[in-house]
Amino acid sequence: MRNLLIFITKYNAFFLFVIFEVLSLVIYIKYNSFQKATFINSSNKITGDLYTRVSGFYDYLKLREVNDNLARQNAELRNQLKSSFYVDTLKKHKVTDTIYKQQYEYIVAKVINNSVNRSNNYITIDRGSKEGITKGIGVICDQGIVGKVIYVSDHYAIIQSLLHKDSQFSAMLAKNKEIGYIEWNDRLDPHIAVLKDVSNNAQPKLGELVVTSGYSLFPAGIPIGRISSLQTKTGGFLLNMEVKLSVDFGDLQYVYVVNNKFAHEQAALEAQKKE
Amino acid sequence: MIKAVFVNLVRFIALVFLQVFLLKNITLYNLSTPYLYILFILLLPFETPNVLLFILAFILGITIDAFYDTPGLHAASCVLLAFVRILFISITVQKDGFDNEPEPTLSIMGLRWFFTYALVLTLFHHFFLFNLEAFNISELQYMIGRVIMSSLFTVFLMLLSGLLFFRRKERK
């Protein structure tokens, strides 16, 4: 017994190492799953607050770009106004149109924390369940899709970015509507993703636009990127190709959370089929 | 004693802030990401008891994890780093020499020792960190490239900060 104690005190560094290492690995394996730790992450009060402050400071450095972007968007929206069209009929009457019912609702949010250089990237935004964000809904920005919400607190939400090993979204070629799915590749390049399982007769071309298909969280036709290289391999039924993403993930400022109002209905209906 | 605690506390906060708000956004060519915050563990005084060393390493790791959204990842790497530190110091430094050499800084221990010390410990930490993060060995070549380039970047920053706070009087 005495010898054992002497042994343990002599090599105390090793035993302490084992204890703490096991503790850390338990934490790592337990919380690294899809559901993230409830308090050791950046939607927790302190880190969330700090990130908001620092991001407020960084915003000054990017004001010019943001202004340019807003001005461009303003111009685009102005083009769609009724007043910017020439009216060539004199009679006008207003109709309350019941054909259209709003399906997608957009909530604007500011990015307060972001990363692109790890193998699983997350984005934190400053809107949460109080503003109507729920788990599992999609997120886009002006240039294209960004990811989906995986964790929500009262005032913050965490987005699993497209640059994540588990991210997978339905996509299609804009020209001939051939369906595939988009995911991030293993090379950890934040500008390149891979479009997979496109049927062999699609005949894609370099530079062709890839958009969302409308089967997943996003409305159809939101841009994802352009085909940058075709990995031709013979014999398969399905094609894979590399896509240059239109979103610059390193420079995200504002994003829109897309709330599909009919998502529940669709999910409930599709769940019936499985039973 | 109180001075040492104070200095280390300030160093802890400063390094965490520097890591989380500045270095987190830096990556060179998708290969090189600096993790300078481990300098805190490297610079703890020689006489720090092992228990305290491990506890501090764990706290530092979990703090970084809170900002990086990776519970346990950096904590595990930091604990490994603390263990390697104990081994390295017990091999290379005479126990009697602790009185006049309180801290393993660049200005006290000299460039050659500090460079080896920083390089070995950083390589261990980065290798463990990157492998634990990716958790597969299919891209081993790329992984090793990342480990080496990141370690060089980190050690470069460490030497830079060592020279920045260099005090000539301490060197004997």
Contacts of A41 in chain B (CB under 8 A): 66, 69, 71
- pLDDT, tens only, B10-36: 989 999 998 888 888 787 877 788 898
Inter-chain contact A29–B72, Cβ cutoff 8 Å? yes
Nearest CA in chain B to A42: B67
CA gap A103, A262 in Å, rounded: 6
Selection from A162, A175, A179 nearest residue A214 by Cα: A179
| Domains in chain B: boundaries | 2-26+34-170
Asked if B80 has any chain A CB less than 8 Å from its own CB, the reply is yes
- Which DSSP state fits A37? P
Q: How confident is the model at residue B171 (pLDDT cuts 50, 70, 90)?
A: very low
Give the three-state DSSP class for B152. Answer: helix
Report the percentage of chain A scoring pLDDT > 70: 84
Asked if B6 has any chain A CB less than 8 Å from its own CB, the reply is no
| Domains in chain A: boundaries | 2-31, 36-275
Report phi then psi at A199, rounded to 5.
Answer: -65, 150
In angstroms, the separation between the Cα of residue A189 and the nearest Cα of chain B is 7
In angstroms, the separation between the Cα of residue A165 and the nearest Cα of chain B is 10
Inter-chain contact B67–A158, Cβ cutoff 8 Å? no
pLDDT of residue A90: 45
Q: How confident is the model at residue B122 (pLDDT cuts 50, 70, 90)?
A: very high
Selection from A154, A153, A155, A162 nearest residue A123 by Cα: A162
Q: Which residues pair with B68 in a beta bridge?
A: none
Give the three-state DSSP class for A261. Answer: coil
A10, A26, A28: best mutation site toward chain B, by most B Cβ within 10 Å?
A: A28
CA gap B35, B159 in Å, rounded: 13
Inter-chain contact A28–B142, Cβ cutoff 8 Å? no
Q: Is residue B69 within 8 Å of residue A158, measured between CB atoms?
A: yes
Minimal Cβ distance to A27: which of B21, B67, B75: B75
pLDDT of residue A92: 44
Protein fold of A36-275: Thrombin, subunit H (2.40.10)
pLDDT of residue A40: 58
Tokens 């915050």 belong to which residue?
Answer: B37
ipTM score over 0.85, yes or no: no
**Least confident stretch, A16-25, A154-163, A203-212, B95-104:** B95-104
Element (H, E) at A17: helix A12-31
pLDDT of residue B100: 58
Interface subset of B 143-162, CB within 8 angstroms of A = none
Nearest CA in chain B to A12: B50
- Average pLDDT value over all residues in chain B: 83
What token pair was written down for B5?
A: 């605690």
